[in-house]
Structure 1
Amino acid sequence: MPPTIADFYAGRSVFVTGGTGFMGKVLLEKLLRSCPKIATIYMLVRPKKGDDPKSRVEKLLASKLFDLVREKQPDVAEKVKLIAGDLMEPDLGISAEDHTRLADNVSIVFHSAATVRFDETLRVAMRMNVVAVKKMLQLCYKLPKLEALVHVSTAYAYCDRHYIAESVYDPPVLPDKLLESMEWMDDDLVDVMTPKLIHPRPNTYTFTKALAEHVILGAAENLPCCIVRPSIVGAIWRGTHQGLGGQL
């Protein structure tokens, strides 16, 4: 029989960004529940609203979404390892020690972290959705065991097109050129120019997600990359937690 998904992940370690967001939580739960022999899941987590990264992960694993996982694997928390960091920081804010841990162990990376706000300023959206992807690629180049980098995009990255194939289209502007131009612009100028820059896309989210796909494509010759484009994300349709959604 061909190997199953659970067989593939057995003994492997993965690195997940965006693990405290809705999709990231569901991914984390699915990996722990359906791939019980997975070795370790490293999670990039930043402090938020007074909670340090450690307490955020503890609250996450104690939430209702993980009831079945805890029931079947009481020691499940031992498989989830915290990597303190921040997309906005140099090198993703990851310490040298944690860089070594990732390089020694990780073979699969899920990059789900992003700003999904439709009204985000272009400068912040570029930093979180484009520059952070470039930082993630630099990290992946240093992972000798890497077998797959899964980048979570959106089905609406090319919402200005009538038909969207499973292809990466030419970007509306070269990401590096835009980043270089924004270095000498103040925030007011960037905000004034944003509507013209992103047109005909409706917001900075879809615009920067398209640029991020172009960045990933540029690395695909040297890294095992794939791009996943979820559509509108709603509550869990079926399964053990049918109906759960939003802030789990």
Structure 2
Amino acid sequence: MVSIPEYYEDKNVLITGATGFLGKVLLEKLLRSCPKVNSVFVLVRQKAGQTPQERIDELISCKLFDRLRDENPDFREKIIAISSELTQPKLALSEEDKEVIIDSTNIIFHCAATVRFNENLRDAVQLNVIATRQLILLAQQMKNLEVFMHVSTAYAYCNRKHIDEVVYPPPVDPKKLIDSLEWMDDGLVNDITPKLIGDRPNTYIYTKALAEYVVQQEGAKLNVAIVRPSIVGASWKEPFPGWIDNFNGPSGLFIAAGKGILRTMRASNNALADLVPVDIVVNTSLAAAWYSGINRMMKAITRLHKAMVFLEYFTSNSWVWNTDNVNMLMNQLNPEDKKTFNIDVRQLHWAEYIENYCMGTKKYVLNEEMSGLPAARKHLNKLRNIRYGFNTILVILIWRIFIARSQMARNIWYFVVSLCYKFLSYFRASSTMRY
């Protein structure tokens, strides 16, 4: 079979969510490792007074694209920003842009979604379900589409303990839910949300499960692949170790712990930490689209499940996910692709990765200078010594109190025994006199 870069050669790729954490890493990796890709359409909405093109210009000027700029300075010419609003009818595409997309697109990567756990149900359905449905309808019109790659989540069915690589029936028909939300007011929607999501922990997971069903049912005539990453964390290797740009997932925990704000967290010692580096997710997505494009198979490709769980629900439970498709996918790659599109997380050295992750939150999220790291470590050691000293003094104090109380207890015991002995002696003497 052709290699992954060969497959993407002269292809036109469409990406949603390119300004998000996962989407921007996917964009960088695609342009860097598949330099002969023809064009990359990115659907971007206007925001904060910036046009879609201005947002893309700002995006590709960040540090994430430094390596790509060095290796391929002309990469900007391949990126085509298209004004779109996924929450609007027909994605708010102009007729001209729509025609270009329909005529040219070969591969779609649908990464856009709201990842807020506390999103209200109406907005979560709009962003994660309706937008997916509209993109599917657009994809059905595309003349040369080869693959529709949908990025979901490994927790879409976390109400099950064992999760297979299948799309399970949804708790409610997405079409009926969408129709109902049109006439319900916000108060009623908020009232019925707990009953609708049932044993799922939040609206994000609930709507991602519905989105998978929409992709499966309405995209039945398309060549669909679904990737289910777990909690997506900082980069492992690419474009450099530890890259992260947000507080989501474990990033916030690492920062809070590093700053001394977070000291304890409720969790289960028996729960596995589900965390996957973002570059593994991106490589898996690119490889899965390659495999689906070559074989024209309609199946879910992967589920990655070594990751940090988030919040009490996830830190107190464990799940079992099947990874037969991932193992099969790795075996399909040639040696060069295995190196360039590495998806074998078993090679990951976790101690080194977590250290890079923590350094990445300091450098890329907090924008702090690494030159202050030695002083910070010295300060941390000082605080640790103070804590150890305080704990030692506390233990000694408790021990002294215990010893003192033990001595007092012995003195009281001796007094009681002596008193009893004297009483018995007096009683015995009195009895002898009466006799």
Instruction: Could you tell me which runs of 5 or more consecutive residues in structure 2 were left unpaired when the two chains were aligned.
Output: 247-363, 365-435
Structure 2 residue aligned with 1:64: 63
Match of 1:237 in 2: 236
Given that residues 136 and 219 in structure 2 are in contact (C-alpha distance below 8 angstroms), is that contact kept between their aligned partners in structure 1? no
Instruction: Report Cα offsets for 1:108-167 as digits up to 9, x if no partner.
Output: 000110111000000000011000011001110111100000011101100100011100
What is the aligned partner in structure 1 of residue 130 from structure 2? 131
SS at structure 2 position matched to 1:182: helix
Task: Judge conservation of contact 2:119–2:203 (CA < 8 Å) in 1.
Answer: yes
Per the TM alignment, residue 207 of structure 1 is displaced from its structure 2 partner at its CA by 0.2
How far did 1:246 drift?
2.5
Letter in 1 for 2:88: E
Counterpart residue number, 1:21? 20
Q: Name which one, 1 or 2, has greater alpha-carbon Rg.
A: 2
1: CA distance between counterparts of 2:39 and 2:238? 24
Hey, what's the Cα distance between the residues in 1 that align with 2:144 and 2:210?
27
Q: Report the Cα offset of residue 92 of structure 1.
A: 0.7
Displacement after TM superposition at 1:214 (Å) = 0.5
Structure 1 position 10, deviation (Å): 0.3
**Preserved CA contact (<8 Å) 1:13 1:41:** yes
Correspondence list, 1:106-185, <5 A: 106-185=105-184
Shifted more, 12-21 versus 51-60: the winner is 51-60
Cα offset, 1:74, TM superposition: 1.2
Preserved contact between residue 234 and residue 246 of structure 1 (Cα < 8 Å): no
Shift of 1:220: 3.9
Q: Distance in 2 between matches of 1:17 and 1:173?
A: 26
1:94: which partner in 2?
A: 93
Q: Which amino acid aligns with 1:198?
A: I
State the SS of the aligned residue for 1:43. strand
2:53 matched to 1:54? yes
| Whole-angstrom CA distance in 2 between matches of 1:126 and 1:101 | 28
Equivalent runs, 1:171-210 vs 2, <5 Å: 171-210=170-209
The one-letter code matched in structure 1 to 2:40 is I
For the 8 Å contact 1:156–1:231, the answer to whether it is kept is yes
Residue 141 of structure 2 aligns to which amino acid in structure 1?
Answer: K
Flag the structure with higher helix content.
2
Aligned to 2:106, the other structure's residue is in SS state strand
1:17-61 deviation digits (Å, cap 9, x = unpaired): 000000001100010000000000000001122322111100111
Letter in 2 for 1:34: S
Q: Following the alignment from structure 1 to structure 2, what is the Cα–Cα distance between the partners of residues 10 and 112?
A: 22
Q: Is the 8 A contact 2:133 2:218 kept in 1?
A: no
Equivalences for residues 209-224 of structure 1 within 5 A: 209-224=208-223
CA contact (8 A) 2:18 2:24 kept: yes
Distance in 1, Cα, partners of 2:83 & 2:219: 27
- Structure 1 residue 177: Cα displacement: 1.1
- TM-score (normalised: structure 2): 0.56
Aligned partner of 1:45 in structure 2 is: 44
Match of 2:8 in 1: 9
* Distance across 2 between alignment mates of 1:173 and 1:90: 23
**Mapped partners of 1:90, 1:240: distance in 2:** 36
Percent of pairs with identical residues: 50
Q: Unmatched 5+ residue regions in structure 1? A: none
d(CA) in 2 for partners of 1:144 and 1:112?
22
Q: Post-superposition shift, 1:72? A: 1.6
**Secondary structure of 2:13's match?**
strand
Tell me the distance in 1 between the aligned counterparts of 2:41 and 2:59. Answer: 14
Give the direction of change, closer, same or farther, for the CA distance of 1:198–1:138 in structure 2 (3 Å limit).
Answer: same
* TM-score for the superposition, normalised by structure 1: 0.97
Structure 1 CA distance, aligned partners of 2:230 and 2:186?
31
